[in-house]
Amino acid sequence: MEQLLSVLIGILVASAVYLMLARNLLRFLFGLILLSNAANLTIFVGGRLTPGAPPLVPDGMDAPIGDVANALPQALVLTAIVIGFGLFAFALILAFRAYQSLGTLNTDEMRVAEPKEN
């Protein structure tokens, strides 16, 4: 299963890089979203896939009994997803505003802050 997920991560990264090489800002952002999903999966696989019972502590005990799933990577991934969600919401709005005020999504034409030397 780990191998399968690793291949999936590879595919995600490859498509992300392909998208990010585009000049269109929106495509770049889509690539970035794929890349961040790849990163989340990496953390998930990094914690090893542990099929088992949910990691719940029974009443009156300090530790769960038997083999349970590793809860930490899931907590990390959840945090990363939430943060990523906020960042990309912001980035998409920024792209939208950039299109409104600069009139283009082509990154080559975004030269307002760094004008071309004549």
Partner 1 sequence: MNSVILIAGARLQAVLLLVFSAYMLLRGHNAPGGGFIGGLIAATGFVVYAIACGTADARKALRFDPGSIAGAGLGIALFAGLMAALWGDALFTGQWLFIGETEDDKGIPLSTVLIFDIGVYLVVLGAILSIAFSLEEAV
Partner 2 sequence: MSWYLTLPLVIPFVASIIAYLLRSSPLGAWVSIIGSGLGLIASIALMAVVLDAGVIAGQMGNWPAPFGITLVADLLSAVMVLITAITGFAVAIYALSDITERQAKLGYHALFQILLAGVTGAFLTGDLFNLYVWFEVMLIASFGLLILNGGKEQIDGGVKYVALNLISTILFLTGIGLLYGMTGTLNFADLALKVEEVENQGLLTVVAMMFMVAFGVKAAVFPLFFWLPAAYHTPSFAVSAVFAGLLTKVGVYALIRMFTMVFDHDIGFTHTVLLWVACFTMVIGVLGAAAQSDFRKILSFHIISQIGYMILGLALMTPLALVGAVFYLVHHIIVKANLFLIAGIAKRLTGGTEVYQIGGLYKSAPFLAILFLIPAFSLAGFPPLSGFWAKYIIVKATLDVEMWFVAFIALAVGLMTIYSMTKIWAEAFWKPHPDGIEPDLKTLPNKPAQIIPVAGLAILTIIIGLNPEPFVIFAERTTAQLLDPTAYITTVLGETP
Q: Which residues bind partner 2 (CB under 8 A)?
A: 20, 25, 28-29, 32, 35-36, 38-40, 42-48, 73, 76, 79-80, 83, 86-87, 90-91, 94-95, 97-98, 101-102, 107, 110-114
| Three-state DSSP state, 63 | coil
Min CB(37)–partner 2 separation in Å: 10
Q: Which does 96 bind (CB under 5 to 8 A by kind): partner 2, partner 1, none?
A: partner 1
26 burial type by CB count under 10 A (0-12 exposed, 13-18 middle, 19+ buried): middle
5-14 in b/e form (b: 16+ CB < 10 A) is: eeeebeebbe
Q: Which does 53 bind (CB under 5 to 8 A by kind): partner 1, partner 2, none?
A: none
Per the CB < 8 A criterion, the answer to whether 77 and 47 are in contact is: no
* Number of residues binding to partner 1, judged by CB under 8 A: 8
What are the beta bridge partners of residue 53? 68
**Site residues for partner 1 per CB under 8 A:** 82, 86, 89-90, 93, 96-97, 100
